[in-house]
Structure 1
């Protein structure tokens, strides 16, 4: 057994993991000492003991503060994962001890919160009232790293491109097409034929830059000779988009199932829109086992998607 093997298996403790992540985040002994409510010499001593135990230099002391070495970068990366696992174990143990049957932490893209996710949570609570749910909204840019690191159990929403979802398992739930939507009294609504140039005078509701739909939408408009509008509102909120459409002459790009959730029906413009986006679905990290609560949540998402499909077909 090497020195590293011995130290990691026998002597490494959670306090060491918290120490090196704090040193990485702050890069300063004094700040770490203040946040940890200990003295600077105590922090310095703890780091020295950890480095001596591993036989590796984890941080280089510079005039600007502490700079992690490649060994430090490696250990901090794994320390974050281990601390996340410990926090999840703590939460599950507390939940079980309080009489709950578990907890599932869901990351979601905003469009999934309008009907799919609330309906799935309703089904979950009917089947297992004491399985509790925490929901965090975000974009693929923010939620996929959270999923990879184990801070969320599953992510629900429009599935990202497969290259962005490497390392994740996925299940498709709703393959609702993306369409151009307006209010029913819109000047373009009700017309059987339209040219893409007919869209040019009107304001738009756009997905924000960097979201899954924005780039393919820009390419589609460019292919049809439509310049990007300079009068627009950017949002991922289905509720806001639907309400704004009813009040204005704006045009929005929306999935059919999302539009059907509006309290007032919307009109679909008769332009052939390509299949810009992948289906809505659920993602999870294939390298981590799903908790019983997460497995049950996925089953409830499948049932909710089936109910939405039947409603849209009726």
Structure 2
């Protein structure tokens, strides 16, 4: 059995950031030549880095088959931890850069009610950490209202659930996160038990909580139900309030649609059940909209924080 001394010494003194970057890149690309090209160095330079790691550690971190390189079990452990270390270093770099720039100002942003809450909350926290001299204001509304406010200069950034085909020339849009809407039933509903199949026919006589008539979400829901010969029964509720919808679902005899992340949270608390039906894919995108001709440092920083928050959710 090998002594643990070389391992201890390697992690105390021998491990360097370039080693982690090379191993993570090897895990992603699988070939030394590709890693060398990505780092703008020669192939022998990358091979030397790998040899340094293995010599200092006294253990193999890669195995070679022709031109391909695979990580050993030990290499995989280092890469898994290395990814997290490099991620935290990148966060620190962004925080320090923003603080050094002394970004100030005020950002006005709005979101539709079905925007994934962790995305906006995490973006706000990132922004305020990196720009403590700046401030934010937030409004909630329908997408058409938010885009109108954006076009009229009353908002800097809006967040919605649909890519817009006919955008005004000055507006831009970008997908931040993908998350489908799913069908849910309240815990007290006949479809609420934890087990058992659900068919589209089971929805025919259900009381619905639907998005507002005329909204893209309502049109998508109605199109999906119509395709399965289902129409919302009478005695339903139209609502654009996520809080009201969740409350009604938890305590009443309703079915509805919710973003998957929101539905999971409440299903884990026993308040509702995610029905085993195909999700509403057309509503899966969370999209940022902004004016390209009215950008400022604080707005650009907040948009970058939204992208980072969205990437983190996508990884999860």
Q: TM-score, normalised by structure 1?
A: 0.61
| Partners of 1:124 and 1:297 within 8 A in 2 | yes
1:102 is displaced (CA, Å) by: 0.5
1:248 is displaced (CA, Å) by: 1.4
Cα gap change, 1:194 to 1:261, in 2 (>3 Å): closer
Q: Paired residue for 1:129?
A: 132
1:224 corresponds to 2:246: no
CA deviation vs aligned residue, 1:24-43 (integer Å, no higher than 9, x gap): xxxxxxxxxxxxxxxxxxxx
- Which of residues 226, 250, 253 is equivalent to 1:246? 250
1:258 is displaced (CA, Å) by: 2.7
| Partners of 2:204 and 2:233 within 8 A in 1 | yes
Write out aligned runs for 1:163-174 (5 A). Answer: 163=166, 167-174=170-177
CA distance in 2, matches of 1:112, 1:136: 12
CA distance in 2, matches of 1:133, 1:165: 25
| Partners of 2:264 and 2:274 within 8 A in 1 | no
Q: Paired residue for 1:295?
A: 300
- Which of residues 254, 269, 290 is equivalent to 2:275? 269
**Could you list the runs of 5+ residues in structure 2 that have no partner in the other structure?**
1-101
- Describe the SS at the equivalent of 1:227: coil
Q: Paired residue for 1:138?
A: 141
Q: Paired residue for 1:308?
A: 313
Equivalent residue pairs, number: 212
1:179 corresponds to 2:207: no
CA distance in 2, matches of 1:298, 1:100: 13
- Describe the SS at the equivalent of 2:229: coil
Q: Paired residue for 1:19?
A: none
Q: Paired residue for 1:281?
A: 287
CA distance in 2, matches of 1:176, 1:225: 26
- Runs of 4+ in structure 1 displaced over 4 angstroms? 164-167
Write out aligned runs for 1:186-201 (5 A). Answer: 186-189=189-192, 190-201=194-205
CA deviation vs aligned residue, 1:133-176 (integer Å, no higher than 9, x gap): 11122212212122112221110121343235665211211110
1:259 is displaced (CA, Å) by: 2.1
Cα gap change, 1:159 to 1:274, in 2 (>3 Å): closer
1:149 corresponds to 2:129: no
- Which of residues 252, 255, 260 is equivalent to 2:259? 255
Q: Paired residue for 1:49?
A: none
Cα gap change, 1:165 to 1:270, in 2 (>3 Å): farther
Q: Paired residue for 1:213?
A: 217
**Could you list the runs of 5+ residues in structure 1 that have no partner in the other structure?**
1-98
| Partners of 1:169 and 1:284 within 8 A in 2 | yes
Q: Paired residue for 2:239?
A: 235
Cα gap change, 1:293 to 1:100, in 2 (>3 Å): closer
- Describe the SS at the equivalent of 2:176: strand
| Partners of 2:116 and 2:261 within 8 A in 1 | no
Q: Paired residue for 2:66?
A: none
| Partners of 1:181 and 1:269 within 8 A in 2 | yes
CA distance in 2, matches of 1:170, 1:100: 24
RMSD: 2.4
1:301 is displaced (CA, Å) by: 1.2
Cα gap change, 1:165 to 1:179, in 2 (>3 Å): farther
CA deviation vs aligned residue, 1:155-213 (integer Å, no higher than 9, x gap): 01213432356652112111101110123454224344322121122211111112220
- Describe the SS at the equivalent of 2:216: coil
Cα gap change, 1:235 to 1:105, in 2 (>3 Å): same
Q: Paired residue for 1:103?
A: 106
